[in-house]
Amino acid sequence: MCLDCGKVLHGRADKKFCDDQCRNNYNNQLNSSSYNLVRNINNILRRNRRILEELNPSGKTKTTRKKLAAKGLDFEYHTHTYQTQNGKTYHFCYEYGYLPLEGDEVLLVKREEKSE
């Protein structure tokens, strides 16, 4: 019997699905809840990166936290952090990052890849 639709199978003794559509449907349903979580987080990270890129065309600029929030930046999600020797913490979304400053100000930066 096909694991997805329940039809009787013909052919190999170890066959589990009647066709590729049933195989894909079965595996998609099996993994859908974990895929949805990962997909939603990846969408947030991509949106955050796009916002940081849009507001920082020169590679280093200042803006406000209010402006970032108005564009839709989700401050809870970032790919990594970088702590400087003097204790400042940059939050990065891939190569674009920000450093919270005094008050509402935020420094936007772009991390350049070092070529070897």
pLDDT given at position 33: 73
pLDDT given at position 55: 96
**What is the chain's pLDDT, residue by residue, as a tens digit (116 residues)?**
999 999 999 999 999 999 999 999 998 888 777 778 888 999 999 999 999 999 999 999 999 999 999 999 999 999 999 999 999 999 999 999 999 999 999 999 999 876 65
pLDDT given at position 116: 59
Amino acid at 69: A
Which candidate, 90, 83, 88, places its Cα nearest to that of 110?
90
Residues 3/26, Cβ–Cβ less than 8 Å: yes
Residues sharing a CB contact under 8 Å with residue 68, sequence separation 6 or more, in sequence order: 51, 55, 75, 98, 106
pLDDT given at position 29: 85
Look up the pTM and report it: 0.72
List, for residues 9-26, the tens digit of each pLDDT value: 999 999 999 999 999 999
CA separation for the pair 71, 8 (Å, rounded): 54
